[in-house]
Amino acid sequence: MSPKSKSSPKHAAPAAALRSQRELQQIGATVLRLAKARGVPETEVHLDETIQALTRFANNTIHQHVAEHGLVVSIRTACDGRTARVTTNRVDEDALRSAIDDCLSLASHQPKDPQSLAMPGKQKYRAVRHFHASTAALTAHERARAVKASCQFAEKRGQVAAGIFSTGQSQTVLLNSRGVAAAYRQTHGTFSVTMQQGSAASWAKGNAGDVRQFDPMELTKVASDKAARAENPVELAPGKFTVILEPAAVLDLVGFLFYDFSATAVADQRSCFANRLGKQLLGNNITITDDVYHPDQLGTPFDGEGVPRQRVLLVDRGVVKNLVYSRQSAKQAHKKPTGHGFALPNEYGEAPMNLVVAGGKTSVEEMIASTDRGLLVTRLWYIREVDPYEKIMTGMTRDGLFLIEKGKIAQAAKNFRFNQSVLEMLRNVELLGPARRATAEEAFEMVVPAMKVRKFHFSEVTKF
């Protein structure tokens, strides 16, 4: 959509603006100066500023409409193997001094940790550009206008629309007393719509750093067309089905693997990859990387200590080849840090936050055409882990489950509960679609393809 297509009326609120990066760096420098004056050997400061706005609609009307603007300063001190973190949203000098004192006090009351490391020194970062001025400038009125168009479209078709249109901008500055100076800013937008027709519903959602990369009306039409086909669902007996998982459904299942790639999780023996590195665990058509520099990804190119993120090949043709490492877990494992550590102190270590699952060339339409009997899954819901080592997940289908017969969508089906090992699923992938940025509700956004999977286990059926 074009945010400049019509001017907003006089009473409309202008979009808020982030502070300059220099202003945040000055606040950070003040923290480092105050800490030095207190005699603190090592100090790290994160500054995170967020502007978010969200227009929420249901029953073809806007019912919630919000905006927020906040800045958070998070300080970590380290001294003689003792570290702690204090976070505040007060940025005057007295408040910052008080936060430093609280941090020192917290840290001093704990036992010395012999495994703690000195903070990292100056780093070099690859430039990424994810800030789009037109997205930052989008106003409440412009979001409301797009929502109104979606609601009017629903009314014309005798449907009921519900959803959100959100936009935001954020920036992060990370400094430490040994020379780390990292900065990042981005914009983002999300349009999500559920169209209801009678007791049937379907859904579509777009998310990008630049709102021009998705079209709210196009998403509205997709959800509306599917809702119209979702009426009068047939009740099928549970069992094992060939399924075509749209990217949102793939994302929400594969997304649950993200922490399993953590070296700390493997060392703690709570990862499904413990004792399985180097083995042919998944199908040879599955390759997964973590790549913050992928053009469809967003996020800081550095980790919670300011270490630059590396592109990491996690799964190569079904074999788990590598994990991600923070500085501390890398030292334990005699590896190099990959720039995936969480802000310290924490017990979880690290995780890949920008998964990219390599895709193929088969479209969803071609997958349907190749299927004699199966199910097309729009999205999944309320996914939880049943077994951590076999990675059995349970959850429901939602907002558009369709029976495929003889290469065509025959009719809607009542929603199923699944109990399915994600590892087994990734051994049973028959076809892959092109990988693209996917967005859903259970996992954070990743780049994944649609998948055609055999023997997907549905255990029970619900009433709609």
Partner 1 sequence: MGVSIAGTPKFFGAPEMWDYCGHSLDVARLRGATYADVRVMHHRQRDLTTKNGRVGTLGQSESIGLGIRVVANGAWGFASTDQLTREGVAQCAAQAVAIARSSALAKKENVRLAPEDSYVDSWQGPCLKDPFEIPLETQLDLLLATDAAMRKVKGVTLSETDMQFRKIDSWFASSSGSKIHQRRVVSGCGIVATVFQGDAIQKRSYPNSFGGQHVLGGYELIESMELLRHAPRVAEEAVALHSAPQCPEKVGTLILGGSQLGLQIHESVGHPIELDRVLGQEANFAGTSFLTLDKLHNLRYASPIVNVVADARPAHGAGLGTFAYDDEGVPAQRIDVIKDGEFSGYLSSRETAHLIGLPRSGGTMRTEGWNRLPMIRMTNVSILPGSWTFDNLIADTDAGILMDTNRSWSIDDRRYQFQFSTEIAWEIKGGKKVRMLKNPSYSGITTEFWNSCDAVSNAENWVLWGTPNCGKGQPMQVMGTGHGASPARFRNVRIGTAFSNE
Site for partner 1 in 251-310 (CB under 8 A): 268-270, 274
Residue closer to partner 1 (CB basis): 125 or 381: 381
67 token code pair: 């905006």
- 410-429: which residues touch partner 1 (CB under 8 A)? 415, 417, 419
- CA 438 to CA 68: how far, in whole Å? 26
Q: What are the E-state strand segments in 28-139?
A: 42-58, 61-79, 82-88
- 331-370: which residues touch partner 1 (CB under 8 A)? 345-348
By CB under 8 A, residue 239 contacts partner 1? yes
Residue closer to partner 1 (CB basis): 38 or 311: 38
Percentages of the chain per state (helix, strand, coil), in multiples of 5: 25, 40, 40
By CB under 8 A, residue 384 contacts partner 1? yes
By CB under 8 A, residue 377 contacts partner 1? no
CB of 66 to partner 1, least distance (A): 4
- 1-20: which residues touch partner 1 (CB under 8 A)? 11-13, 16
**Given 335, 394, 409, 411, the residue binding partner 1 (CB under 8 A):** 394
Strands 82-88 and 61-79: antiparallel
Number of H helices, E strands in the chain: 10, 19
Residue closer to partner 1 (CB basis): 240 or 408: 240
By CB under 8 A, residue 226 contacts partner 1? no
By CB under 8 A, residue 386 contacts partner 1? yes
- 48-87: which residues touch partner 1 (CB under 8 A)? 52, 54-72, 74, 83-87
By CB under 8 A, residue 201 contacts partner 1? yes
- Kindly tell me the sign of the dihedral angle through the C-alpha atoms of 374, 379, 382, 385: positive
CB of 454 to partner 1, least distance (A): 15
Q: Kindly report whether the peptide bond that precedes residue 295 is cis, defined as omega within 30 degrees of 0.
A: no
Answer whether 328's CB lies under 8 Å from 341's CB: yes
Backbone phi, psi, residue 450, to 5°: -70, 155
**Given 20, 26, 110, 363, the residue binding partner 1 (CB under 8 A):** 110
Which pairs from 219-226 meet CB under 8 Å and 24+ separation?
219/191, 219/192, 219/193, 220/149, 220/150, 220/153, 220/154, 220/161, 220/193, 220/195, 221/153, 223/193, 223/194, 223/195, 224/153, 224/154, 224/157, 224/159, 224/195, 226/195, 226/202, 226/378, 226/399, 226/400
By CB under 8 A, residue 47 contacts partner 1? no
**Given 196, 289, 329, 354, the residue binding partner 1 (CB under 8 A):** 196
CB of 291 to partner 1, least distance (A): 26
Residue closer to partner 1 (CB basis): 86 or 292: 86
Q: Which stretch binds partner 1 (CB under 8 A): 39-47, 248-256, 299-307, 394-402?
A: 394-402
Neighbours of 22 (CB within 10 A): 9
